[in-house]
């Protein structure tokens, strides 16, 4: 690299000198050349040019290394799928989490009490016991269990829930199941038409009782 720089510096001065000669007379060339040779130390000038070229080369190398470091540090450290799930969970609003927990707990409390009441009848009435929890129910079980739930669920004082609350319960349960890696479309899949019919009927019944108008 140094030899190349030295050759470049020599050519640079040769070119400058030739250019100067082409624009002056012979006498001026002689006088200028003599004066220039007396006042200028070619070795010193050559060293200064080489130093400047070396500095430029070092600056270029430093910039290349800096760009390389920037490219290598551009992205975040690798993360696991567990960490991704944690981020997804953190992104869910607290109000949504609360509604999910409330709806699921209400469904499970209803299911347990219903099974106890059905068991106490001694099988006199034709009502099936709901053995499975939400997470493991088949689509058919989910369709019929949620239909029963929206028809039978009541407040602590025994009164009916308003239409919007009933709809919100089903929506919260659907969102809860999505978080459990089970995608169900309770409001638009034909497999859950029985649930939707029951939900609409109960929402209309609640609205007619003056709780609140249908959404």
DSSP calls for 154-206: --TTSPPPPHHHHHHHHHHHHHHHHHTT----TTT-GGGHHHHHHHHHHHHHH
The more confidently predicted of residues 117 and 187 is 187
Conformation bin of residue 210: beta by default, left when phi > 0, alpha when psi is -120 to 50 = left
Q: What is the pTM of this model?
A: 0.61
Residue ranges per structural domain of the chain: 2-72, 81-208
Express each pLDDT in 192-209 by its tens digit.
999 999 999 999 999 887
Q: How far apart are CA 141 and CA 134, in angstroms?
A: 9
Express each pLDDT in 91-141 by its tens digit.
888 999 999 999 999 999 999 999 998 877 655 455 778 999 999 999 999
- pLDDT value of position 45: 58
Residue with the two structure tokens 């169900």: 184
Tokens encoding 57: 């080369």
- pLDDT value of position 39: 52
Express each pLDDT in 9-62 by its tens digit.
555 555 554 455 454 455 554 445 555 445 555 566 567 767 777 787 778 777
- pLDDT value of position 36: 47
* Mean confidence (pLDDT) of the chain: 80
| HSE of 203, CA atoms in CB hemisphere, 13 A | 18
């Amino acid at each position: 690299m140094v030899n190349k720089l030295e050759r470049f510096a020599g050519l640079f001065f040769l070119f400058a000198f030739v250019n100067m000669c082409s624009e002056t007379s012979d006498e001026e060339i002689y006088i200028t050349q003599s004066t220039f040779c007396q006042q200028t130390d070619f070795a010193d000038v050559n060293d200064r040019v080489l130093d400047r070229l070396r500095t430029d080369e070092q600056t270029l190398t430093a910039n290349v290394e800096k760009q390389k470091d920037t490219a290598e540090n551009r992205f975040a450290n690798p993360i696991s799928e567990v960490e991704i799930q944690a981020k997804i969970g953190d992104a869910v609003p607290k109000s949504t989490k609360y509604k999910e927990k409330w709806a699921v707990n209400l469904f499970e409390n209803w299911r347990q009490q219903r099974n106890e009441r059905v068991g106490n009848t001694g099988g006199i009435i034709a009502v099936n016991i709901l053995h499975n929890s939400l997470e493991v129910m088949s689509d058919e079980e989910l369709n019929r269990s949620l239909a029963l739930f929206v028809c039978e669920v009541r407040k602590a004082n025994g009164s009916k829930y308003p239409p919007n609350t009933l709809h919100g319960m089903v929506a919260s349960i659907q969102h809860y199941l999505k978080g459990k890696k089970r995608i169900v479309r309770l409001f638009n899949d034909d497999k859950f038409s029985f649930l939707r019919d029951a939900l609409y009927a109960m929402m209309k019944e609640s609205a007619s009782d003056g709780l609140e108008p249908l959404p």
